């Protein structure tokens, strides 16, 4: 099983990236195979056909399990994450990819954003999104048990869909 | 595998019910085990503890695959369907249930409603909703190939999650 | 200016009703002209043509400012409120009505529900919804300053739209 | 009254920009005072503090009426539009700005996107969004009457809120 983390934070090496990596590790039992820090793709995201962007898209498309992570900007995912998602083919770009929407915020008020706002974009790209999205508080996720609790609750369902797709 | 259809149309024996039954049959290969036409539960839906309502809730909670179907009223699911969903326990009422949101409308303008509006309620109840919701045009669904196309695309993923849950 | 409160809580005389009445009073400077506790309309809500339901719909349709209030059930508004909203004509039922979506919850996690879920239904009915929805914590709204802060921030905009419609 | 058009299409001089300009003209009776084709801001959008981006933000923040326009990418607004919106201050960046969400698509299936997805971002920035969003079919909007119909229905309400804010 190939696991990939996509972090859409305008700041490189963000807590978003860290939290997504922890979640991927918790869900799969090992470090993710690929980590894409979207901001490092730079200005190539603003057009079409950039080789590094295309390479990142191909990595994601050929993964079995992908964590799509974003901080909460203006009560939803970031523009930079959406720029990257805009590069995938509608209905097909995430076919056979099991995707998990993850968002981080400073407080609990935007806890509905992963399921109401980020997940529908992933579904539109053809992803299988079998479980509830996860919303973490950015100042406490390294200490609380939310990631572990989530993995315990949902890993079996995620593995069921990824096994099927890989077969 | 136990398959159940839930139709939330204020008119008994509606096209909503028919379409949901066709979808269940197409996904599972056989007629659904249970069909719940919510309106027939009557005024017991307005309170808590009605025996017939409780029985219907138990039937749904113990199913493996459930189609939740609604016509489009005011650009979203009906009040009567939500009345029934309000009877389930948050986070647990649909645990281990694989759920499919289905909506019908007179035209295509509300095609986003199953994924943006109905699915999040099912997820809140703990359901596994692994695939895109389905939106059908109520005047053409018996003739077009939308249900068959949907079943071909998504039945394998739905079966993967239901098999796991049943094991 | 005619101000009306609509409370969609299955329990009569709820905190939902109280909070909506406080908000209406704070926004208009006087007690609301009409208070509709939807649950008191009873089983007539399940069909069409009930005289008491029709009367309540007419009261709302002819108001200038209406607070639509709901507790948070399953991360969105209640089925009983939606049953009542289903009685209005699409696009016209709330024409020239300035509407405010208000929701109460036990904690902050569902704070996005008024704007993402309840407001779009009111807009579909033709309402003017000029300002952000309000989400209150049901255990603290009588003591905190959220209603007063909201009224100070948004009353001028609400009055601008209601004045226009009334002219 | 200062009217501004913001078009978030990765292609410069797009139909999105044209449709938004037509809508602004139809609503205000004259050509918009400012037209911001977001893609022309280039790579400065990927960070913070770019002078041209800041200038564009200031133009929008000090306008009375702003059309925010996007093509439909992956069933919602574009990443490039969201990049620009991420530059505004939460709750304050669009204070006293009356905003209209406009989206264009190839077909009717995404007609709910302006109200369910784009409008909440504008509200989060503090905008007054008094009326329903507009969704246009990109191949027919120059010939059909949708823009004119919308202006006739909603211009009075928009003017009521903009007049207040300007006073």
3-state secondary structure B52-101: HHHHHHHHHHCCCEEEEEEECECCECCHHHHHHHCCCCCCCCCCCCEEEE
What is the reported pLDDT for B121?
98
Which residues in chain A have Cβ-Cβ distances shorter than 8 Å to D8?
none
What is the reported pLDDT for A163?
62
- Minimal CA separation from B43 to chain A, in Å: 31
- What is the C-alpha separation between D110 and B112, in angstroms, rounded? 6
- Mapping DSSP to helix (H, G, I), strand (E, B) and coil, where does residue A131 land? coil
Percent of chain A residues past pLDDT 70, beyond the cut? 97
Which residues in chain B have Cβ-Cβ distances shorter than 8 Å to D116?
112, 116
Beta strands in chain B (DSSP E): 3-7, 34-37, 65-71, 98-105, 134-137
Q: Which of residues 50-79 of A touch C (CB under 8 A)?
A: 75
HSE toward the beta carbon, residue C157, CA cutoff 13 A: 26
Res A167 pLDDT > 50? no
In a domain, D79, yes or no: yes
What is the reported pLDDT for D166?
47
Residue numbers of chain D with a pLDDT score lower than 70: 163-167
Determine contact: D23 vs chain B, CB below 8 A.
no
* pLDDT tens digits, one per residue of A133-146: 999 999 999 999 99
In a domain, D17, yes or no: yes
Closest Cβ–Cβ partner in B115, B161, B163 for A130: B161
| Average pLDDT value over all residues in chain D | 96
Nearest CA in chain C to D125: C132
* pLDDT tens digits, one per residue of C23-42: 999 999 999 999 999 999 99
Are residues D76 and A120, on separate chains, in Cβ contact within 8 Å?
Answer: yes
Which residues in chain A have Cβ-Cβ distances shorter than 8 Å to D41?
none
C49-55: average pLDDT: 97
What is the reported pLDDT for C16?
98
- What is the C-alpha separation between A146 and A23, in angstroms, rounded? 10
- What is the C-alpha separation between C114 and C135, in angstroms, rounded? 7
Question: B31 burial class (0-12, 13-18, 19+ CB within 10 angstroms)?
Answer: exposed
Which residues are registered as beta bridge partners of B71? Answer: B104
- What is the C-alpha separation between B118 and B84, in angstroms, rounded? 13
Determine contact: B132 vs chain A, CB below 8 A.
yes
Structure tokens at B165: 């849950």
In a domain, B115, yes or no: yes
What is the edge-to-edge ordering of all strands in the sheet holding D3-7? D34-37, D3-7, D65-71, D98-105, D134-137
Which residues in chain A have Cβ-Cβ distances shorter than 8 Å to C112?
75, 109-113, 116
Give B119-122's long-range contacts (Cβ < 8 A, gap of 24+): B120/A112, B120/A115, B120/A116, B120/C75, B120/C76, B121/B77, B121/B82, B121/B85, B121/C74, B121/C75, B121/C76, B122/B68, B122/B85, B122/B94
Nearest CA in chain C to D126: C132
CB count, 10 Å around CB of A15? Answer: 18
Domain span at C97: 3-158
Are residues B79 and C117, on separate chains, in Cβ contact within 8 Å?
Answer: no
Determine contact: D112 vs chain C, CB below 8 A.
yes
Determine contact: C111 vs chain D, CB below 8 A.
no
Q: How confident is the model at residue C137 (pLDDT cuts 50, 70, 90)?
A: very high
CB contact at 8 A, B135 and B118 = no
CB contact at 8 A, C73 and C110 = no
Nearest CA in chain A to B112: A120
In a domain, B163, yes or no: no
Nearest to A98 by CA among A164, A161, A29: A161
What is the reported pLDDT for A93?
98
Closest Cβ–Cβ partner in D116, D128, D160 for C131: D128
What is the reported pLDDT for A164?
56
Q: Give the angle D108-C116-D64 at the CA atoms, nearest 5°.
A: 85
C54-80: average pLDDT: 98
C138-165: average pLDDT: 91
Are residues A160 and B164, on separate chains, in Cβ contact within 8 Å?
Answer: yes
**DSSP class per residue in C107-124:** SGGGTTHIIIIIHHHHHH
A25: enclosing H helix or E strand:
helix A15-28
In a domain, A93, yes or no: yes
Residue numbers of chain B with a pLDDT score lower than 50: 166-167
Best of B10, B39, B46 to disrupt the C interface by mutation (most C CBs within 10 Å)? B46
What is the reported pLDDT for B52?
98
CB contact at 8 A, C112 and A75 = yes
What is the reported pLDDT for C99?
98
First to last CA, chain B: 11
In a domain, D57, yes or no: yes
In a domain, D163, yes or no: no
CB count, 10 Å around CB of B26? Answer: 15
- In total, the C-beta contacts within 8 angstroms joining chain A to chain D are 87
Are residues C130 and D164, on separate chains, in Cβ contact within 8 Å?
Answer: no
CATH number at residue D52: 3.40.50.360
In a domain, B94, yes or no: yes
Are residues C157 and D115, on separate chains, in Cβ contact within 8 Å?
Answer: no
Nearest CA in chain A to B164: A160
Number of domains in chain A: 1
């Amino acid at each position: 099983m190939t696991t990939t983390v996509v972090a859409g934070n305008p700041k490189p090496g963000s807590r978003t990236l860290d939290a997504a990596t922890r979640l991927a590790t918790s869900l799969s039992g090992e470090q993710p195979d690929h980590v894409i820090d979207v901001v490092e793709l730079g200005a190539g995201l603003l057009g079409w056909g950039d080789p590094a962007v295309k390479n990142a898209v191909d990595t994601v498309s050929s993964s079995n399990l992908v964590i799509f992570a974003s901080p909460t900007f203006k009560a939803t995912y970031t523009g930079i994450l959406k720029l990257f998602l805009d590069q995938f083919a509608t209905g097909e770009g995430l076919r056979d990819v099991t995707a998990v929407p993850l968002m981080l915020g400073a407080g609990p008020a935007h806890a509905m954003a992963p399921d109401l706002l980020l997940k529908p974009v992933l579904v539109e790209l053809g992803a299988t999104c079998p479980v509830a999205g996860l919303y973490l508080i950015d100042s406490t996720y390294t200490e609380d048990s939310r990631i572990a609790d989530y993995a315990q609750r949902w890993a079996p369902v995620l593995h069921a869909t990824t096994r099927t797709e890989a077969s």
